[in-house]
A = this chain, B = another copy of it.
């Protein structure tokens, strides 16, 4: 299954509770698109959130995040890792 990093902008001041709620919102519906959100990291100072997932396509991630109210600014397919 392809791996992806998607990036959210503008989440300045995001709290631990808000990050958890957003992640749980994704988890609740991700199976409908075959997405597996594995990890999310946030920098509240810059407002960036990075989500690591496995998914059938970038579009599947876009649909789940958008339905959950947090459309990502970028989605990158990670074909290499070390």
Contact = CB atoms under 8 A, between A and B. Distances in A.
Interface of A: 3, 5, 14-16, 19-20, 23, 39-46, 48, 50, 52, 74, 76-82
B82 A46 contact: no
Contacts of A80: 14-16, 19, 41-44
B79 A44 contact: yes
Number of copies: 2
Interface SS, A side: strand
Contacts of A48: 5, 74, 76
- 4 smallest CB-CB distances across A and B, nearest first, come from A43-B76, A41-B78, A42-B80, A41-B81
Contacts of A77: 43, 45
